Amino acid sequence: MRALGRLSPLWPMALSFACGTSSTQPHGDPPDGNADAGAHVARADAGDAGMRSPHHDGGSPHVDGGAPDHAADSAIAEGGMDVKSSSTDGGDRFGLLASGMRDRNVWPFASDSIWNMPIGSGATLLAAGITYAGSTIAYQDPEIIVMDPTGPLTDLDYSSVGWSGGDRCPATAPTNVLDQLPMPASFLVPSSTFNACAALLRADGHTVAQSNAFAHCTQGGAATCDTNAFPDQDIYGAGISGSHGGSQLSALGGTIRLGEFASGRIHHAMKLSVWAAQYYYCPSSPCRPIWPAATVDSYATPQTYGGTNPHLTEGALLALPTSFDLSTVTTAPGKILALGLIDYGVYLVDDTSSDSWVLETEQGPAGDVPTEFETLYGYSIGTFAAPAGAAFMADMVKLYEALEIVTNNTSTSIGGGGTPRVPLAPAIGN
* Domain coordinates in residue numbering, the chain: 31-141+252-416
Cα 63 from Cα 59, distance rounded (Å)? 13
* pTM, two decimal places: 0.85
pLDDT tens track for 109-139: 999 999 999 999 999 999 999 999 888 888 8
The pLDDT, as a whole number, for residue 41 is 28
Cα 159 from Cα 213, distance rounded (Å)? 9
Q: What are phi and psi of 401, to 5 degrees?
A: -70, -20
The pLDDT of 393-409, averaged and rounded, is 96
Helix count and strand count (H, E) for the chain: 5, 17
**Which has more pLDDT, 383 or 150?**
150
Q: Is the pLDDT of residue 371 over 90?
A: yes
Q: Is the pLDDT of residue 87 over 80?
A: no
The pLDDT, as a whole number, for residue 309 is 97
Coil, strand or helix at 306: coil
Share of the chain above pLDDT 90, in %: 73
The pLDDT of 273-290, averaged and rounded, is 97
The pLDDT, as a whole number, for residue 70 is 59
3-class DSSP string for 167-191 = CCCCCCCCCCEEEEEECCCCCCECC
pLDDT tens track for 175-230: 889 999 999 999 999 999 889 999 999 999 999 999 999 999 999 999 999 999 99
Contact 238, 113 (CB under 8 A): yes
The pLDDT, as a whole number, for residue 210 is 98
**Which has more pLDDT, 183 or 383?**
183
Coil, strand or helix at 27: strand
The pLDDT, as a whole number, for residue 69 is 64
The pLDDT, as a whole number, for residue 386 is 59
